[in-house]
C-alpha cells in the first residue's frame, strides 16, 4: 500500500466509481496507478506558474502509465456507447484533479467547448481522433460569444495528444474517426484562481462559423451542444 498525503486520492473501480472519501490521507494500491498518482501530485505543483510545461509532464506520466498497463482493464472491454470512466481523483471543493477515460464510437464527438479555471491534457490510447483546437481571445469576447482563432485541425493517433490551459488552446472539439477511439484525460480545476465553488468548468460554443483566422463562436447550452454536435463527426 502507498500513502498519498496532503490530498485525497481515490481509485475508480472497473465496474463503477469508488465513493470520494472524506479523510485527509487515502491508502492507494501499489502499481502503475499509484505511481501515476504520485507523479501527478508532483507535476501539478507547477501548474499555475507554468501550465504548458506542467501539462507536458502530465502527458509523459500518462504515456508511461499506459505503457505499464495502468488502463488495460478498461481497454480490454470498452462499452459500445460513448462513455467516461473516472480512474483517479484528488482534492475537494475549490481545487481538484482527476484522470478519466473517454470512449468515443466512430462518428461521435465531444461537442465543442472552452474552459474556465481549468487545465487539461489528453493522450490517445487506441484508435484515432479528429481534433480542432482554438485560441480563445478572452479580452475581446462578450457575454454572448467567444472570439476564437483556429490553430490546429488534424488527426491524432495513439501516443499523441493535446494540451489545454487558461490562456493556451482553451477551446477544442474532437471525435473518433476510422473506428472507435479511447483516450486518457487529465484535468485540474481551481489551480489558476481560488474559487469556493464553480458549478461548471466547461462552456459549450458553436465554432462552425470558422476554422482558421479569427471568428466569433456563440455560447450555447449543453443540451443544444449535444443535440447538434455529439452525434456527428467533425
Q: Which domain holds residue 116?
A: 2-230
User: Residue 144: what pLDDT?
Assistant: 97
CATH number at 41 reads: 2.60.120.10
pTM for the predicted model, two decimal places: 0.85
User: Residue 27: what pLDDT?
Assistant: 41
How many independent structural domains does the chain possess?
Answer: 1
User: Residue 80: what pLDDT?
Assistant: 73
Place of cell 467516461: 84
Is residue 119 very low, low, confident or very high in pLDDT (cuts 50, 70, 90)? very high
Question: Of 56-60, 74-78, 90-94, 198-202, which gets the smallest average pLDDT?
Answer: 198-202
Helix residue ranges per DSSP H, 9-82: 32-43, 51-67, 72-76
- For residue 137, pLDDT beyond 50: yes
pLDDT, tens digit (0-9, with 9 covering 90-100), for 158-200: 999 999 999 999 999 999 999 999 999 999 998 887 665 555 6
Whole-angstrom distance, CA of residue 178 vs CA of residue 130: 10
- Dihedral (CA of 198, 96, 48, 100) sign: negative
- For residue 218, pLDDT beyond 70: yes
User: In this structure, what C-alpha cell is assigned to residue 2?
Assistant: 502507498
Which three-class secondary structure state does DSSP give residue 18?
coil
User: Residue 6: what pLDDT?
Assistant: 35
- For residue 59, pLDDT beyond 70: yes
pLDDT mean over 98-117: 94
DSSP-assigned states of every residue in 175-217: EEEEEEEEEEEEEEESSSS--S--S-SEEEB--TT-SSEEEEE
HSE (side-chain half, CA atoms, 13 Å) at 21 = 16
User: Residue 29: what pLDDT?
Assistant: 62
Whole-angstrom distance, CA of residue 200 vs CA of residue 10: 21
What are the CA-CA distances from residue 51 to residues 25, 57, 81 (Å)?
Answer: 26, 10, 33
Is residue 20 very low, low, confident or very high in pLDDT (cuts 50, 70, 90)? very low
Amino acid at each position: 500500500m502507498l500513502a498519498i498525503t496532503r490530498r485525497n486520492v481515490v481509485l475508480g473501480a472497473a465496474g463503477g466509481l469508488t465513493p470520494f472519501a472524506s479523510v485527509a490521507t487515502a491508502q492507494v494500491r501499489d502499481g502503475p496507478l499509484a505511481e501515476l498518482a504520485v507523479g501527478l501530485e508532483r507535476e501539478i505543483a507547477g501548474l499555475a506558474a507554468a501550465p504548458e510545461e506542467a501539462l507536458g509532464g502530465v502527458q509523459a506520466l500518462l504515456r508511461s502509465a499506459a505503457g505499464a498497463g495502468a488502463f488495460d482493464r478498461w481497454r480490454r472491454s470498452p462499452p459500445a456507447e460513448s462513455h467516461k470512466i473516472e480512474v483517479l481523483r484528488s482534492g475537494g471543493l475549490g481545487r481538484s484533479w482527476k484522470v478519466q477515460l473517454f470512449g468515443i464510437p466512430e462518428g461521435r464527438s465531444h461537442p465543442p467547448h472552452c474552459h474556465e479555471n481549468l487545465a487539461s491534457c489528453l493522450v490517445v490510447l487506441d484508435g484515432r481522433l479528429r481534433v480542432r483546437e482554438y485560441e480563445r481571445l478572452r479580452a475581446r469576447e462578450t457575454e454572448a460569444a467567444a472570439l476564437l482563432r483556429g490553430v490546429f485541425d488534424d488527426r491524432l493517433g495513439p501516443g499523441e495528444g493535446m494540451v489545454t490551459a487558461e490562456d493556451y488552446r482553451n477551446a477544442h472539439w474532437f471525435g473518433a474517426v476510422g473506428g472507435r477511439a479511447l483516450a486518457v484525460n487529465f484535468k485540474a480545476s481551481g489551480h489558476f484562481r481560488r474559487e469556493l465553488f464553480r458549478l461548471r468548468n466547461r462552456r459549450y460554443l458553436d465554432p462552425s462559423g470558422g476554422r482558421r483566422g479569427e471568428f466569433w463562436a456563440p455560447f450555447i447550452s449543453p443540451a443544444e451542444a449535444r443535440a447538434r454536435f455529439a452525434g456527428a463527426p467533425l
